């Protein structure tokens, strides 16, 4: 079956996932969402703020998918995309069966209302361990994740996306090797992404070729006590002592073969958390862009950067990036997302309490790759990274200014402490003096303000199939697997937004200049370099996949992981292009519609 034009596919996805009854255009969605979010304002200001939010959306500053689909509707659904749930209570060290059952029930409540959930499964006892309940029940992390996955797949979810979950396990858990292998070459845990929480100590053990202890507080089964299990000084049972490099090799092999697990550099995440004195982060949301404490959540909203390029491709003048307008969009975006915290439906009371005490939000971006191409800059160039850093600085400075101004109007978030926020080494310490002075006078409305998500569906439905998040364009013409109009999932042929803009402005037969670079033409190191250019300006996380060529070796995957850790990134995921991989995006092997002269191979 021949695919419909790209614009038709965008419109079909828009209608299927985002239209409310009676809506037929993007502007209808914008009006509904703007009016809904303005309800958090004082009555006399609602009409003005609704117009302001609507104007922001017309210029490319939108909400994440749950906002655009659910705000202002009668659905029993949340506007919050991402959550992290605990498996056990804060004072509990080993998960009992009743803890796991309760956690599954809580997960189902959140998933049913449209939120994705991440969990740290490290409290679950390993195989051959007693969890202290009558009958001597034993642990098994992978079996517990099976139960969460089955529960999610069994839910009658209202749209075609299904539930999204993240399983995180510490690098010293005794079930680590089984966890690493669980998804390799199998269709296990279809609703889960998986990541390992890697400590600096483990990374040093790998570098120094040291041994590594796999340990847990759960008591081993009596049958295993004679097999080398012994009590440690810190009160944990050591289940095995293994070469760190053996574990590292298995992690790299699994990521090489199946793109999982990803790595979370958990010590880096905790050091960067300005609330580390009152919260402990052990997991992220399903896509990894938001490290969160137990019951944490984040309301997200990307801004289309391609809309801020003047004279794209040098047509009509030298390309320039409109930082002034971007700053204006960011300031309105902060207010819009802060409003969403107060008007959304919360699946659970604990989530609401956590969110309103800290008021985390995530202003983000999409179409960075397209914007760089329209600026005539190669994604893998130093000039592109410098521009990305300038964009990140603009996001940071304007978001924090807007939050301080909002704090002057509405009050700071309840757990705000000035001495913590402005102390040396904290995120706000690098802000311009004028913004820090404003924070000193008025406080901050939000504890965290910035997060860069993948933005896959909204980039297609609302941003003309632009490059997602901060990724380079996957390709200029490619296939995307989707399920539209209740049909079975199939591949649709799409054209990238920047590519279409170039054809429109420069002619369909014009050869692509050498700054047109796709994700597969960017080296793994340069994928990481772009994250490193932006991370200093983002107080949350950045979801970014390092796309690797098919010939990439296991050793090279390990090198990429180490490079990410040394660069101070919060996490890393790789995807090696493979003909047999079950990927959502596929290149088209036939010749492209336009000459490829000058494009790097």
For the chain, which domains are there?
Answer: 12-77+299-588 (3.20.70.20), 82-284 (3.20.70.20)
Closest-CA residue to 446 (of 364, 363, 359, 362): 359
pTM reported for the whole predicted model: 0.94
Q: State the Cα–Cα distance between residues 215 and 174, nearest whole angstrom.
A: 6
278-303 pLDDT, tens digit per residue, is 999 999 999 999 999 999 999 999 99
Percent of the chain's residues with pLDDT above 90: 82
| Mean pLDDT of the region 151-179 | 88
DSSP run (H or E) holding 332: helix 323-343
Indicate if the pLDDT at residue 78 is higher than 50. yes
Which tops the pLDDT comparison, 231 or 481? Answer: 481
Residue that is written with structure tokens 């080494």 in the block? 425
What are the tokens at 506? 């420069």
Q: CA of 506: how far to CAs of 5, 137, 308, 315, 513, in Å?
A: 20, 68, 19, 8, 11
> pLDDT band at 138, cuts 50/70/90?
low
Report, as an integer, the average pLDDT of 576-589.
62
- pLDDT at 227 (0 to 100): 55
Structure confidence at residue 225 (pLDDT): 58
Q: Looking at residues 109-115, what average pLDDT do you find? A: 95
Q: Is the pLDDT of residue 349 over 60?
A: yes
pLDDT tens-digit series, residues 313-345: 999 999 999 999 999 999 999 999 999 999 999
The Cα-based distances of 80 to 73, 322, 342, 590 in angstroms read 14, 30, 11, 41
What pLDDT is stored for residue 480 in this prediction?
Answer: 84
Q: What percent of the chain has pLDDT over 70?
A: 91
- Could you give the 3-state DSSP secondary structure of residue 235? coil
Instruction: Give the pLDDT score at 600.
Output: 26
**For residues 228 and 254, which has the higher predicted lDDT (pLDDT)?**
254
pLDDT band at 70 (very low <50, low <70, confident <90, very high): very high
As a whole number of angstroms, the distance between CA 527 and CA 156 comes to: 38
Return all residues near 90 (Cβ < 8 A) that are at least 6 apart. Answer: 294
pLDDT score of 481:
82
pLDDT confidence bin for 160, thresholds 50/70/90: very low
Q: What is the pLDDT of residue 135?
A: 42
Contacts of 275 (CB under 8 A, 6+ apart): 293, 358, 415, 420, 447
Q: Which residues 6+ apart lie within 8 Å of 322 measured at CB?
A: 308, 309, 310
pLDDT reported for residue 580? 45
CB atoms within 10 A of CB 489: 11
Mean per-residue pLDDT of the chain: 91
């Amino acid at each position: 079956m021949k695919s419909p034009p790209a614009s038709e596919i965008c419109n079909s996805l828009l209608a299927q996932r985002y239209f409310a009854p009676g809506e037929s255009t993007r502007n209808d969605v914008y009006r509904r969402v703007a009016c809904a979010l303005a309800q958090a304002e004082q009555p006399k200001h609602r009409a003005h703020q609704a117009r302001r939010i609507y104007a922001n959306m017309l210029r490319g500053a939108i909400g994440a998918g749950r906002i655009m689909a659910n705000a202002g509707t009668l659905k029993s659904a949340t506007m919050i995309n991402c959550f992290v749930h605990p498996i056990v209570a804060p004072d509990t060290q080993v998960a009992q069966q009743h803890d796991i059952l309760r956690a599954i029930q809580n997960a189902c409540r959140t998933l049913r209302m449209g939120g994705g959930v991440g969990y740290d499964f490290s409290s679950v006892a390993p195989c051959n361990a007693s969890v202290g309940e009558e009958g001597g029940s034993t642990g098994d992390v992978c079996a517990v994740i099976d139960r969460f996955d089955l529960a999610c797949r069994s839910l009658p979810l209202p749209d075609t996306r299904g539930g999204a979950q993240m399983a995180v396990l510490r690098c010293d858990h005794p079930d680590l090797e089984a966890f690493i292998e669980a998804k390799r070459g199998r269709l296990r845990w279809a609703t889960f992404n998986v990541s390992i929480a890697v400590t600096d100590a483990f990374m040093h053990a790998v570098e120094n070729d040291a041994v590594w202890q796999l340990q847990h507080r759960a008591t081993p089964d009596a049958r295993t006590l004679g097999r080398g299990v012994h009590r440690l000084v810190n009160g944990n049972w050591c289940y095995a002592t293994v070469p760190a490099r053996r574990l590292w090799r298995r992690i790299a092999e699994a990521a090489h073969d199946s793109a999982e697990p990803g790595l979370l550099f958990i010590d880096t995440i905790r050091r960067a958390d300005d609330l580390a004195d009152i919260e402990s982060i052990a997991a992220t949301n399903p896509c990894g862009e938001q490290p969160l404490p137990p019951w944490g959540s984040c309301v997200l909203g990307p801004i289309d950067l391609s809309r801020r390029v003047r004279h794209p491709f040098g047509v009509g003048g030298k390309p320039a990036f409109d930082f002034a307008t971007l700053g204006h969009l960011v300031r309105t975006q902060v207010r819009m997302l802060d409003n969403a915290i107060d008007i959304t439906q919360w699946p659970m009371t604990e989530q609401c309490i956590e969110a309103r005490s800290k008021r985390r939000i995530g202003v983000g971006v999409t179409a960075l790759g397209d914007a760089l191409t329209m600026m005539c800059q190669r994604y893998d160039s130093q000039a592109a990274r410098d521009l990305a850093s300038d964009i990140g600085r603009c996001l940071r400075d304007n978001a924090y200014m807007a939050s301080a101004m909002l704090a002057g109007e509405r009050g700071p978030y309840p757990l705000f402490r000035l001495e913590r926020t402005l102390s040396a080494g904290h995120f706000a310490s690098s802000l311009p003096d004028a913004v820090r002075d404003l924070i000193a006078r008025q406080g901050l409305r939000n504890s965290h303000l910035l997060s860069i998500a993948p933005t896959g569906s909204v980039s297609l439905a609302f941003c003309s199939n632009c490059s997602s998040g901060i990724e380079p364009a996957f390709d200029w013409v490619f296939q995307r697997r989707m399920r539209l109009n209740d049909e079975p999932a199939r591949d649709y042929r799409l054209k990238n937004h920047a590519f279409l803009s170039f054809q429109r402005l420069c002619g369909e037969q014009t050869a692509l200049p050498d700054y047109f670079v796709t994700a597969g033409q960017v080296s793994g190191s340069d994928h990481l370099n772009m994250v490193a250019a932006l991370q200093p300006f983002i107080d949350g996380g950045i979801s970014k996949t390092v796309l690797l060529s098919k010939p990439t070796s296991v050793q090279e995957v390990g090198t990429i992981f180490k490079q990410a850790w040394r660069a101070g990134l919060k996490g890393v995921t790789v995807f090696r292009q493979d003909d047999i991989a079950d990927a959502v995006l596929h290149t088209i092997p036939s010749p492209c519609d336009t000459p490829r002269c000058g494009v790097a191979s």
